[in-house]
Amino acid sequence: MLTYGEALDYILGLANYETSVDSVAAAARFNLDTVRHLARLAGWQGGRYIHIAGTKGKGSTAAMVDSLLREAGYRTGLFTSPHLHCFRERIRVDGRLIPERAVARLAWQLRPLVAELQRDNPQLSPVTTFDFLVVMALSYFSLTKADFGVLETGLGGRLDATNVVTPLVSVITSISYDHTQILGDTLDQIAAEKAGIIKPNGVVVVAPQEGEALAVLEATARERNARIVRVDRDYRWRQGANGLDVEGPYGAYTGLQLPLLGDHQQVNAVTAIATLDMLRQLGFALPAEAVRRGIARVRWPGRLEVLRRRPLIITDGAHNADSAQKLATALQESFAYRRLFLILGTSSDKDIAGIVRALAPLAGRVIVARSQHPRAASYEAIEGEVRRYTDCVSRAGSVAEAIAAARSEAGSHDLICSTGSLFVAAETREALGFRSIYRSYRPCTR
């Protein structure tokens, strides 16, 4: 039997493209053969799944679907990535992180299967960290008898390891430019990769999309004889005086209390509701009150999250140009402040110019910070873009130092926003004492 630390060292010691800066090399080995073989060796026999892909909003939508199902009385498994504070966040059942002992036991059971697979099938690509975690999640959901598994893709869709499942409902959230070295540099190419999760004769819920991406998704659904539910066509919603009002083909909800901030989260909420409507059409009991409670109780840290007040300190994992623009809109529409202190750190493979273009013009002061992640962009790469908009820019040795510097200057009516990646969001939370995704102090080990 392994200890938790030994298990994690083994998992992280596999090929790990999340920490690799060579995305072209990563793209060259993507396929589903390896993860399919490993899942079969592990004895996985399928289950009920909701599979979610997209560029933005897929994690929030997954969290909402999970919350709605739990409030309806179902036992749920949730698989998401990346994590904020520890690996165990990626695999949850009924909202609880997979225990350390379960990680250790499953790693101990799966490790010899990895060795067997790679010994007997030398033609297959090596098992990656993400492959291993997908099979671990599927095994854990089966072991704990989860009624549903909610799976968020890691990258793309067609060749993502999560695409070994045959879901009851596929969901595709907003598509924009990201991971262009791997997925393609046009919206139709990226959409084609995301559309890979649409199954023959299946059901797909599609969030509002740009026309180019929508055309690809609709064409794929037709080719595969899949039913497509378009959120922007089949549902209407607005923020009313008493909350979010949603009207769809299977009923209406008024006054929903959505704790996640930003208009984009309203779209994600409606997408989650449309997903539950499809499950209801398949015969699952999902009462309206469960929707109301599930929306009200959803939590998804690191996304337009208010961490402190006076001055306001907000963190958001915006990591591409489109999500940065949505963050900029939310800052202007949802908050009143005198001056904006922007703490910015991105990954090196992102559209740094686009992120800076959306946010820097709003800032009275920009502090460039590098996260501890191996893919963090250099100071020079970010600062060079920022200086196109302002000379009021400085560097900090870490995200924690940037937070301290901003707090020393900011007045009680100012706003400090730390953003650019989920890695920056995580380090922002940790600098302010949040070492767990839970508000109550429950520290997460590695």
Q: What are the tokens at 441? A: 């102090």
- 148-160 per-position pLDDT tens digit: 999 999 988 999 9
Integer angstrom CA distances of residue 31 from 155, 158, 223, 253: 12, 9, 22, 41
Query: What is the β-pairing status of strands 312-316 and 305-308?
Result: antiparallel
Integer angstrom CA distances of residue 373 from 57, 82, 107: 22, 12, 24
Reference 372, options 350, 398, 394, 342; nearest CA is: 398
Q: What CA–CA distance (Å, rounded) separates 326 from 267?
A: 12
Give the per-residue pLDDT at 435. 82
| CATH 3.40.50.150, domain 305-431, yes or no | no
Give the per-residue pLDDT at 184. 73
- 115-150 per-position pLDDT tens digit: 999 999 999 999 999 999 999 999 999 999 999 999
Under CATH, to which class is 4-297 assigned? alpha beta
- 80-109 per-position pLDDT tens digit: 999 999 999 999 999 999 999 999 999 999
Q: What CA–CA distance (Å, rounded) separates 325 from 322?
A: 5
Go through 341-362 and write b for each residue having 16 or more CB atoms within 10 A of its CB, e for each that does not: bbbbbbbbbbbbebbbbbbbeb
Cα 78 versus chain centre, distance: 12
- 413-445 per-position pLDDT tens digit: 999 999 999 999 999 999 999 988 775 445 566
Q: What CA–CA distance (Å, rounded) separates 50 from 173?
A: 13
Q: What mean pLDDT is predicted for residues 3-11? A: 96
- 369-387 per-position pLDDT tens digit: 999 988 899 999 999 999 9
pTM, rounded to two decimals: 0.93
**In the predicted model, what is the mean pLDDT of the chain?**
93
Query: What is the β-pairing status of strands 148-152 and 49-53?
Result: parallel
Query: What is the β-pairing status of strands 203-206 and 227-230?
Result: parallel
The answer to whether the beta carbons of residues 318 and 437 sit under 8 Å apart is: no
- 177-188 per-position pLDDT tens digit: 766 567 777 989
Each domain of the chain, given as residue ranges in start order, spans: 4-297, 305-431
